[in-house]
Amino acid sequence: MEQITIQISDRRKARALRDFLKSLDYVEKITISNFKLPILTKSKNGDFFALAGIWGNRKISIDSVRQAVWK
């Protein structure tokens, strides 16, 4: 099975693409993810720790990274 990742900035267009893909008989699964990361602004007092924990729910190890990169 092959997998394709597409990033779309417009939510309406993403839904339209999803509906189209659902109509194809060879598409097995469609997942739409909505990732919202904290927005950092440039300032003297920028909070370095504002992004702390963004990987908290991800199970990442050096072995999984190596497998993904060096196939």
- Higher per-residue confidence, 71 vs 29: 29
- Structure confidence at residue 38 as a pLDDT band (50, 70, 90): low
Residues 6 or more apart in contact with residue 1 via CB below 8 angstroms: 28
- Higher per-residue confidence, 8 vs 41: 8
Rounded Cα distance between 22 and 15, Å, is: 10
pTM: 0.42
- Return the pLDDT at 41: 61
The string of DSSP letters for 22-68 reads HTSTT----------PPPP---TT--GGGGTTTTTT----HHHHHHH
- Return the pLDDT at 6: 82
- Return the pLDDT at 67: 85
Report whether pLDDT(44) > 60: no
